[in-house]
A and B are shown apart, each in its own frame.
Chain A
Amino acid sequence: MADRHYTKTHEWVTVDGKHATVGITDFAQAQLGDVVFLELPAAGRKLAARETFGVIESVKAASDLYAPVAGRITEVNEKLASKPELINSDPYGEGWILKLELAGGLPPDLIDESDYKKVTEAAAS
């Protein structure tokens, strides 16, 4: 299992060679509550790091989704259209959102699990 990297805006990314998988964190899904809708881009679109690529909507809030890394979208998780609850039940597995073909390396503002934990603890206090 590749290392999981995080953003301060609560996305995660795993990288395997040139291929990256993107989702939102367990903390993010817990804060949002039951996810009811996702507005996602089509495969093929090129994203810059930190670019807004979609919107996630729960009963409580609607939030923008940001690309943790730059790259071209190779696949969008089609299951989320009919089963947005996968984000809640399995945010790091079946609830993945995008697969990307990396353009360049990992941006320096990505953080590791222990630093991300500090971000969530600060947000929860």
Chain B
Amino acid sequence: MRRLPWLPIVAVGLIVLAALAAPVIGLADPVAMDVAHRLAGPSAAHPLGQDEYGRDVLSRLIWGARTSLGIAFAAAAIACVIGTILGLVGGYVRGVAELLAVRSMDVVLCFPPLLLALLVVTLLGPGASTLIPVLAIVYLPSFTRVAYAGVLSVRGHEYVTAMKVLGAGRLRIMTRTILPNIAGPVLVQFSLAAASAVVLESGLSFLGLGVVPPAPSWGLMIGAARGTMVQAPLLLLWPCLALTVTILAMNALCDGLRDVLDPHPAARRASWFSRFRRVAAPVVPEPAEPGTVLDVRGLTVAIGDPGDGKLAVRDVSFHVREGETLAIVGESGSGKSLMSLSAIGMVPAGVEVSGGTATMEGKDLLALPAAELRKLLGDRMAMIFQDPGSSLNPVHRVGSQIAEAIRAHRPVSRRAATTQAVTLLRNVGIPDPERRAKAFPHELSGGMRQRVMIAMAIANGPRLLVADEPTTALDVTIQAQVLDLLASLKRDSGLGLLFITHSLPVVAEIADRVAVMYAGEILEEGPTAEIFADPRHPYTAALLRSAPKDDGPAPEGIPGTVPVPGDLPAGCVFAPRCDKSIDTCVKTRPPLFDIGPGRASRCIRWASL
């Protein structure tokens, strides 16, 4: 929960206090005229001067606050009570009650608010006693809708069902169980309605259709001061200022309340934008072995400010060769996606690479200027993601999204790119590709969408393909088809595949080599067959035991959870969950031991496992 908006609370509180205290703070009579001193400037008796009838401006200002706020709060309160009841009943009882209580509000919403107010004023005549019901009607639908929406989202929850099972009556459930849960949005709506009612009241009074003179109201004061604005501009200024400051404070209060009560915090920063401006001088990295498409060394990624020391990825090194699949495997939260995205320069918002190099074709991706990196992304290296449904832009046709990837890197015409897109769709096994190219993403099945993503990724013949859990969102048969497709692509084009997954069966099927990641570190690495047959780290062994098998023993879970960055154990990161742990494991963090050709383990007891 965020901090309460104290500044606006104090400001609104002071204004309300002044309005309440108007009769007792010794103000001049707000309606006493003194025509001899009309438009007189500030004096000891009249600190803000006198108006066109010689009335005291300060007194009228404060009494005006009383009128405006009184009307606004009364109207908002009535609308709030009636609207919330209608919404509650409509949402909880449903049926006819819903139709009458909620749908009838749609008709009220057919009238623009000010117009509705004018219609009612015509029928009932102007005056404060009319304004309250008028404004209450105007704001009624918003409360009904808020309460109704709240009930609909709350009514299915277990605690409501629990109350029902316990035999509580409808009234009791509505008032005791549901109401407190929708109180937040209703409160926000109340402050919104009150602020907006102040504006509407002053507007109607300004037109002469609201508060009836000589009663003081800010709208009336502004309207009257218009006639003398050349001689006495200050007369116009005071009520304008009072009105604006009041509304500013009330709006700020609404925003503050919403921030405190809204469970979905708004996006505050879009920090990856800044990455487009990066122009750091590229460091010339050590040359990689021939045949290596990506060589990552010592990659370290910090969450938030690098100075905070929350390192989500620590000192990770690996490489991917041509025509080879390296699988990065680990539980959720092990940092495998973050590490892979960062390694190819796609650093997500809110994190920073704080060390290491990632070499591709002689360039360090982590130090490359944004413009240079952009030339490689989508061309020499490409990505496919976990959820093809959200990874495709919903408003563009899939063919044009593929063509866009081609045209970002090749000087071809739109038509040629579109033709190429159809060919690519055919190559990834999409039937009737001409027609499918014209489809929107939501018109395709999940497996089909992932094929589209793959077609887009291979459009420019990349040397490296990073696949981040590409089959997790798909059902098992489609999963197998997509894996087959990736395997054949790799075979035919010789690209290097970096495959991120938490599924060991998938690793067994597709990977040549495996790197096991845990809490931001690689704990074990080696050829797939060797790792599966002879794991040399207790974590790998535990993962293998936890994977379901067709025959053999039932899978075993790993007790405990992955530690979060910033709260890591002092020694081996896996020690708290490890059944082989000894004293040294808890005290010192082990390095990655070279334990054979192409194999490494971060366990000090690797030899004795």
Mutual binders A and B: no
Interface residues of B (CB under 8 A from A): none
